[in-house]
Amino acid sequence: MAEVPQMLPILILQTGGPPQAVGAAYGGFDRMVGEVAGLNPGRLTRVAAYKGETPEAPSRYAAALITGSRANVTDHAPWSEACASWVRDAMDASLPLFGICYGHQLMSYALGGRVGYLEGGREIGTQQVELTPAAAGDALVAGMPSIFAAHFIHEQTVAEPPAGAAVLARNGKDSHQMLRYGPNAVSVQFHPEFTVPVMRAYFDVMRARLADEGLDVQALRSGVAETPVSHAIMRRFFERIAAPAASADAR
């Protein structure tokens, strides 16, 4: 009998975790990603880069997702710089990459873009995003609504994308909400792994801090809504681009 080849794992490169109360109720970003993307938990391997863990060579994975973080890319922490170097190696190896929030900014920075603070302060809650004309021929968003809802929490942004990157989505707050760097590499500023309960939990945990920033916490929390298109973008990435077998059980 011929030996069945073993599938390579999907890397969840963790650059941080949610606040303790959010994580206790809903798990870390790895669990959120796996559940929303419909990935087989047994196929995932987790590397907590922000705790000093290091990933293996890109060739040892089928794909990688880089999570969000409460850190800032502009702090240039040693572990973050090491991740940026790994991203460059992964791009050279054509490894499918998907970045979220910090991961979005890190990928852009690693590939020559510039990261800075978001003009006008934090973007948080459920906000609208629109696809750009550049997204018209992109298979990842083909057939999806041109305007859709997504969950946010960020103070920094991709101020200037790397040369050659295509801007696939934007809104009035941030011109670079979704970027494509190549056939297998995409990143998003929003959080496709967040559900409504998770987004509301962030408001509950951060209520005092957000109020001090002058935000109408109650109105923003009340505006939290479902984000099916945001979820679908992440699911489609893994189904169509990175590892079709990974989500077979979810279809």
Q: What is the tens place of the pLDDT at every residue in 176-219?
A: 999 999 999 999 999 999 999 999 999 999 999 999 999 999 99
Contact of 13 with 64, CB cutoff 8 Å: yes
Q: Which of 35, 62, 65 is nearest to 249 (CA)?
A: 35
Lowest mean pLDDT among 2-6, 107-111, 123-127: 2-6
Predicted structure pTM score:
0.93
Is the confidence at residue 44, as pLDDT, over 50?
Answer: yes
DSSP 74-90: GG--HHHHHHHHHHHHH
pLDDT score recorded for residue 4: 35
Per-residue pLDDT averaged across 143-155, rounded?
97
Is residue 14 within 8 Å of 29, Cβ to Cβ? yes
- The Cα 146–Cα 232 span in angstroms is 14
40 Cα distance to chain centroid: 18
